[in-house]
Structure 1
Amino acid sequence: MAGKAAPTPTTYSPSPTTQKTKPSFFKNHDADWVRPDGRGFHQCRPAFFRTGAVNAAAGSAYAEFGNTKVIVSVFGPRESKKAMMYSDIGRLNCNVSYATFATPVRGQGSDDEDFSSMLHKALEGAIILETFPKTTVDVFALVLESGGSDLPVVISCASVALADAGIMMYDLVASVSVSCLAKNLVIDPMLEEESYQDGSLMLTCMPSKYEVTQLTITGEWSAAKINEGMQLCLDACSKLANIMRSCLKEAASGSEE
């Protein structure tokens, strides 16, 4: 993976930002506590994207959010016998896998069918499939290091990789999740926080169109908490998309020089 020196990751936060400074992480699950990395409850990790990470692919991107590191390769559009049999529109194929060294327990890397299906659902509504009839676009995501909020990072990185490949989309797709920890909602959770969460909410959207492409909720949530979690994610997705666009603009201006 050759390229220029990596720029400083850009952090982003939904509004309003709140900061809590109380005892150590989960010393008392029901009390106020400090996040392991010292972030405010509504503060996302620094986000870094870089395109052109895989030379052999039509488009690719690398993303790093804290300890979560992901690389996505896009191949195609290429002729698809399956697509020719039943449809005049393009076909999207998604695969998410974990490197053997990605998780704390070594050797657990494998394909993740649930994540692959969710990645497909998140992206399909944003891609203009009519622009590549009877062909297939393949999206391969590899989690290099699992540091929490893996799927949202994969989805956002895949969107940048698709744009890098020149695939026509209605808008970029950004994804952010929140964890419910006792009475608190924490955005962009780390692995440690996810392991203690009472519930999670992941939202994927096209920020410019203000259109949600996927919403996944686990655990027990009140209507008020769901609304609060969605608003946090929507605001953060909008700001994350700006970082994604900046990466693509830098790559485009670099290629013109």
Structure 2
Amino acid sequence: MATKLGTTYSPCTQKKKQQNPSFKDLDGVRADGRGIYECRPAFLRTTAVNAAAGSAYAEFGNTKVIVSVFGPRESKKAMMYSDTGRLNCSVSYAPFATPVRGQVSEHKEFSSMLHKSLEGSIIMESFPKTTVDVFALVIESGGSDLPVIISCASLALADAGIMLYDLVTAVSMSSLGTNLIIDPLLEEESCQDGSLTLTYMPSRSEVTQLTITGEWTTSKVHEGMKVCLDACKKLGEIMRLCLKEAASTSDD
């Protein structure tokens, strides 16, 4: 299922990093033809890994991610601490995922941020004294990797039958000078002087995590959050439709 959420802009080169491109001069159109507030077309599929309890595949432009969920399984560590379940998250990159081959393997920072984004959406009491493992693999890094990982992981948890308060959607935004662009490409991220990543549970209208880097004015933060929230809501509809289609297919 491919769905779109949503003249040419050339990302800044190494020599032009001090002077960010102006979308006003370029009619607000980017290298891939999108507007500054337009997300890439999203392709989502569940049950991508047969050996896993649940899995999902996500493709947003050139960013391609696959997530596998295993468990709940018995965990001595979880039993020691509480009667609730335990969530483990791991994010890694395929050797060929980045322009420089083998540049990234395990990504500990993304693993931690994935955990923080998902834990509030999971009903941990539904699998006491057991552990759920989430393994995300970036097959191709095309920009906005973390938001795609988070959204794909939430879809994989739902596919695994893990009880959730709601799905988690995620969108990022880059600040380039006076301009804000949503769902940035890898080239655009290399030019940014600030970034905003928002994770959101649409049905509950709850933000599970907000990460901001660089210098942002209050008005810029408000504008960025508003645009990201709208995109997260649209992405949530696509994710729910994906699950409904998967359920109807399995019933047949």
Give the corresponding residue for 1:146: 141
Is the partner of 2:4 in helix, strand or coil?
coil
- Alpha-carbon shift at residue 123 of structure 1 (Å): 0.1
Give the corresponding residue for 1:107: 102
Gaps of 5+ in 1: 1-6, 14-20
Instruction: Name which of 172, 181, 203 aligns with 1:208.
Output: 203
Is the partner of 1:196 in helix, strand or coil?
coil
Is the partner of 1:243 in helix, strand or coil?
helix
Matches for 1:1-257 after TM superposition, within 5 Å:
7=1, 9-13=2-6, 21=7, 24-26=10-12, 29-32=20-23, 33=26, 34-257=29-252
Distance 1:24 1:178 in 2: 17
Q: CA offsets per residue over residues 107-126 of structure 1, 9 Å max, x none?
A: 22310000000000000000
- Alpha-carbon shift at residue 159 of structure 1 (Å): 0.4
Q: CA offsets per residue over residues 118-151 of structure 1, 9 Å max, x none?
A: 0000000000000000000000000000000000
Q: What is the count of residue pairs matched by the alignment?
A: 243
CA contact (8 A) 1:30 1:183 kept: no
Give the corresponding residue for 1:4: none
Distance 2:10 2:119 in 1: 42
Distance 1:38 1:253 in 2: 35
Is the partner of 2:131 in helix, strand or coil?
strand
- Alpha-carbon shift at residue 23 of structure 1 (Å): 6.3
Is the partner of 1:37 in helix, strand or coil?
coil
Is the partner of 1:10 in helix, strand or coil?
strand
Q: CA offsets per residue over residues 131-182 of structure 1, 9 Å max, x none?
A: 0000000000000000000000000000000000000000000000000011
Distance 1:253 1:66 in 2: 27
- Alpha-carbon shift at residue 35 of structure 1 (Å): 1.3
Distance 1:57 1:191 in 2: 30
Equivalent position amino acid for 1:76 in 2: G
CA contact (8 A) 1:69 1:146 kept: yes
Give the TM-score normalised by the residue count of structure 1.
Answer: 0.92
Percentage identity across paired residues of the two chains: 74
The two structures, once aligned, show a CA RMSD in angstroms of 1.3
Is the partner of 1:121 in helix, strand or coil?
helix
Equivalent position amino acid for 1:124 in 2: E
- Alpha-carbon shift at residue 25 of structure 1 (Å): 4.5
Structure 1's 76 and 235: CA in aligned 2 closer, same or farther, altered over 3 A? Answer: same
Gaps of 5+ in 2: none
